[in-house]
Amino acid sequence: MEMSLKTNERVQEELEALEAILMDDISISYNERGCPELIKTTIFPSTANEVDKQYVCVTLEVKLPEEYPDCEPLVQLRNPRGLDDSTINHLYKSIKDKCAENVGQPVIFELIDLIRENLTESNLPTCQCAVCLYGFSEGDSFTKTQCFHYFHSYCLANHLSITKRHFQEEQDKLPAWQKSTKGFQATCPVCREMIECDIDELKTAHPPKELESAQKFEVTNDLRLLQERMRQLFSYQKSKGGIIDIEAEENKLLLITQSSEETASSESTEDPGPSLSNLNDPVLENGVLKKSQRCDVKMNSSDR
């Protein structure tokens, strides 16, 4: 009993010190018995308080077992921004070492310091641009959103000009009383938070470098095998009547009756292959082709 009280006091002291240093930037939750359970804080690189120069961040979550500090706390890194998996794994390893070294003493502030040092050293996004899926090379112009997501300025400009155009097209279709009064609002492609940016300025950026040097795609053996497997499955399901016959279904919808013989003769047992391929948006309705556009199906049937 006395031991646990003492432990508790040591923890209490550590937490008070943390609150004094970090103030609103730390949150501590307590369990029903009033013991501290979970400590959370978001850590940024040290950039002399220049928030626009912080390109990475991560939230540290520390769970305190009852025996802490005489055992290691449970540490989780959440919501990493601008950090790839290898950077995070490296951080976890350093955290583990630090905790093991410090059993018996308060370690939370040490952890915060360690993470902040690491972030400061790698204060450039190591993740990929979510739009083109390529990384950030030196000289690439990139944009950090307010929600800490990263894009090549070129890619973000592309996304924003297209969503803005779509928004405008939708607005133009609406009667005056239904039109939005707010105008176009840009959102982050990753988390959909509202973002503020100057599309015209982003548009002046050059395409990312890695993108230009990317390797070409080749058809591999694995790919051939998979294609073959797809063909087999298609034929098998076709023989069981399991393949949707668009033409027949559409005719049903139109309430036109067709003899089953006719339907059967227009079917092909071949995988139809690209039926969506030659088509542009206007002829697609919710992703399905209008009858007149499905030339390949027609071709197959006339082949027979």
Partner 1 sequence: MAALPRRIIKETQRLMQEPVPGISAVPDDSNARYFHVIVTGPEDSPFEGGLFKLELFLPEDYPMSAPKVRFITKIYHPNIDRLGRICLDILKDKWSPALQIRTVLLSIQALLSAPNPDDPLANDVAELWKVNESEAIRNAKEWTRRYAMDN
Residues at the contact surface with partner 1, assessed by CB under 8 A? 130-134, 155, 158-159, 162-163, 189-190, 192, 211, 214-217, 219-220, 222-223, 226-227, 229-230, 232-234, 236-237, 240-244, 246, 249-250, 252-253, 271, 273-277, 279-281, 284, 286-288
DSSP state of 214: P
Report, in Å, the least distance between residue 283 CB and partner 1: 11
Judging by beta carbons within 10 Å of its beta carbon (0-12, 13-18, 19+), is residue 163 exposed, middle or buried? middle
Tokens of 267: 């079917």
Report, in Å, the least distance between residue 181 CB and partner 1: 19
Q: Sign of the C-alpha dihedral, residues 148, 149, 152, 154? A: negative
- Nearest in space to 262 (alpha carbons), one of 253, 271, 251, 272: 251
For residue 273, give the 3-state DSSP assignment: coil
Report, in Å, the least distance between residue 230 CB and partner 1: 4
| Residue closer to partner 1, measured from CB, 49 or 213 | 213
Note the residue count of the chain: 304
Report, in Å, the least distance between residue 282 CB and partner 1: 11
Residues 6+ apart with CB under 8 A from 143: 150, 151, 152, 153, 156, 197, 202
Report, in Å, the least distance between residue 84 CB and partner 1: 15
| Residue closer to partner 1, measured from CB, 81 or 159 | 159
Before 69, cis peptide (omega within 30)? yes
| Residue closer to partner 1, measured from CB, 215 or 259 | 215
Triad 112, 118, 123: Cα angle to 5°:
120
Number of Cα atoms under 13 Å in the Cβ half of residue 274: 3
| Residue closer to partner 1, measured from CB, 94 or 141 | 141
| Residue closer to partner 1, measured from CB, 8 or 163 | 163
Tokens of 249: 């279904």
> Which amino acid does the sequence have at 164?
K
Report, in Å, the least distance between residue 120 CB and partner 1: 27
Report, in Å, the least distance between residue 285 CB and partner 1: 8
Residues 6+ apart with CB under 8 A from 22: 41, 112
| Residue closer to partner 1, measured from CB, 139 or 241 | 241
| Residue closer to partner 1, measured from CB, 197 or 288 | 288
